[in-house]
Each structure stands twice: as C-alpha cells, then as structure tokens.
Amino acid sequence: MRASLFLPRIIAIPIMLIIAVASVILFSVFFAILLIPVTLIGFKIWRAFTLAQKKQDGAIIEAQYSVIEKSEADI
C-alpha cells in the first residue's frame, strides 16, 4: 500500500516540470508573435519620421540659400 501512495509523487513531479517547460515555451512564442508586428510598425513609423525630417531639413537649407542670395543681390 505504501508503494501505491508513492507512485503519484513519482508521476506528479515530471508532469509539473513538463508543464513548467511547456508554459515557458508557449509564453515565449506568444511574446514573439506579439513583438514581430509591433517591431515592423515601429520601424515603418521611424522610417517615415526620418524621411519627413530629411525633407524638412532640405527645405530649410534651400530657404537659407535663397535668403542669402537675395541679400547679396540687394547689396
């Protein structure tokens, strides 16, 4: 009778370890599935922001050059 009470502990410990490992793996997969689209969206927003900044910087430089050219022509 003692062996029959010990058997569930022998089975329960590996099952608990398997459940712990499986839950960690599933959590990692779920986190990766969520992280990939967020990363792609963030990259697209960052690229659009940098392109907008470059376009804005180019307009400012042209405006500065045009002002300098006008001031030199007035002198």
Compute the distance between CA of residue 36 and CA of residue 46 in angstroms, rounded to an integer: 15
What is d(CA 41, CA 46) in angstroms, rounded to the nearest whole number?
A: 9
Specify the DSSP class assigned to residue 40: H
How much is the average pLDDT of 27-34?
94
Instruction: Specify the 3-state DSSP secondary structure of 36.
Output: helix
More confident residue, 14 or 73: 14
Query: Per-residue pLDDT tens for 31-75?
Result: 999 999 999 999 999 999 988 887 776 555 555 555 555 555 566
At 4, the pLDDT band (50, 70, 90 cuts) reads low
Angle at 63 between CA 62 and CA 68, to 5 degrees: 100
Rounded CA-CA distance 43/49 in Å is 10
